[in-house]
Amino acid sequence: MGAGKSRASTKDKDPKRMLLAKRKKFSSWDDTLLSGKDPRSLLKRGMCHVSFSLVTKGMTDVPDFLWGLAEVQKLNLSHNQLRVLPAEVGRLTQIVVLNLCGNRLKSLPREISRLQSLKVLFANMNCLAEVPAELSLCRSLEVLSLSHNCLSQLPASLADLSRLRKLNLSHNNFMHIPICVFSLKELDFLHVGSNRLENVAESIQCLASLQIFIAENNNIHSFPRSLCLVSSLELLNLNNNDIQTLPSELYLLHRLGRIAWNPMDKGLHISRNPLSKPLPELVEGGLEMLFSYLKEKKHN
């Protein structure tokens, strides 16, 4: 019995086993660095981009060697415990896609302005209370997600993001859509759901390219008449607000196609609003019936 225990004890202290056990705790980059390999061996070279991923590693800090990988074009640091994105990120001037989703960032460094090739920035699911004005210098930016943060305003300078096409501001603390948004003429997707909006400014009509507008789960009191002038709309979601009436010009939004009930469907989403009679029954009857009623009402 004693000899068995002794052998087991010796086995547990076997240096090779102990080393293997330790290696299992190392992250992929630790393992590479400990073996003396060049960190560049961790880069993935696809047909279009050179990418580097450190997803779900439990990191509280970004490893310093990363700032020397100047050729990185797609960088994924999502779902970690990062509280600070170092200014050194400005060294990675070739970045096209930067994913910071699901961390604990309270701010972004001003040096992000050096990322002149940046097209896609995911900074959603963080603790951002502000966005640096310098982000406006990322003139190539096309997709910006800032959802699930603590934002209540955006810097006016973001109006300079002339190539921005998709903007997600949902699940924040906005009481109105930031004025800079109405200058983004290329915008085709705007999500401002789950904020504290009570109205939508008439300036929404300036977004002539807008195809998808989501403003569900707010406290919007009236359907903005100027929204009817955004004829490019294919999905309009105003579910769960405080809307009682619909403008007679609603029929101008002919691309909506139908009343939609599934959140993923194109069309008009207007459920869970205190619509006055006979609107609830007309909505149930479909978009054509609703449009006919509104047209007739306008001409009478």
Residue 110, burial from CB neighbour count under 10 angstroms (0-12, 13-18, 19+)? middle
**pLDDT at residue number 74:** 96
What confidence category does residue 299 fall into, taking pLDDT thresholds of 50, 70 and 90?
confident
Query: Helix, strand or coil for residue 53?
Result: strand
Please tell me the pTM assigned to this model.
Answer: 0.87
CA distances from 176 to 153, 173, 196, 204 (A): 9, 9, 7, 12
pLDDT number for residue 22:
47
User: Which one is predicted more confidently, 41 or 201?
Assistant: 201
Domains by residue range for the chain, with CATH: 32-131 (3.80.10.10), 165-299 (3.80.10.10)
Q: Taking residues 270-295, what's their average pLDDT?
A: 95
Sign of CA dihedral 250, 252, 255, 258: positive
Does residue 296 register a pLDDT over 90? no
Determine the Cα–Cα distance for residues 95 and 71; give it in Å rounded to an integer: 8
Residues in the chain: 300
- Does residue 221 contact residue 242 with C-beta atoms inside 8 Å? yes
Instruction: Name 243's Cβ contacts closer than 8 Å, sequence gap at least 6.
Output: 220, 221, 222, 223, 270, 273, 274, 275
- For residue 36, name the pLDDT band (cuts at 50, 70, 90): low
Query: In whole angstroms, what is the distance from residue 19 CA to residue 2 CA?
Result: 26
Measured in whole angstroms, the distance separating CA 281 from the mean position of its chain's CA atoms is 36
For residue 295, what pLDDT is reported? 87
Question: Strands of 74-76's sheet, edge to edge?
Answer: 44-45, 50-53, 74-76, 97-99, 120-122, 143-145, 166-168, 189-191, 212-214, 235-237, 267-269
Whose tokens are 């920035």? That residue is 121
DSSP letter at 7 equals H
